[in-house]
Amino acid sequence: MESYIVRIYRRDKKDRDGITGVVETIETNSRSDKTGKKGFKSFDDLRRVLCPAKQPQDSTEGRGN
């Protein structure tokens, strides 16, 4: 199981994508703790950070381009 810390710095109540923040991925092992940080600027970005394997690599994929 993975653990995350999600920090939201700005949120626009009128605009669904008006959100900015950072996701910290916490990984622990027997010798040390490691923290990785990734920023996001929308809910779609946040979803991509939390579930990267479920997202297509290219946004034009599947559109016939």
Asked if the structure places residue 60 within a domain, the reply is no
Predicted pLDDT at 32: 46
Q: Is residue 18 part of a domain?
A: yes
Instruction: Give one DSSP letter per residue of the chain, joined into a string.
Output: --EEEEEEEEE-SS-TT-EEEEEEEEEE-SS-EEEEEEEESSHHHHHHHH-GGGS-SSTTTTTT-
Give the percent of the chain with pLDDT over 70.
69
CB 42 within 8 A of CB 50: no
- Position 7 pLDDT exceeds 90: yes
Contact 25, 35 (CB under 8 A): yes
Range of the domain at 32: 3-54
> Residue 7: inside a domain, yes or no?
yes
Write down the pLDDT at residue 58: 52
Residue 8 CA, chain-centre distance (Å), reads: 11
Q: How many domains does the chain have?
A: 1
20 in any annotated domain: yes
The pLDDT of residue 30:
42
One-letter amino acid of 32:
S
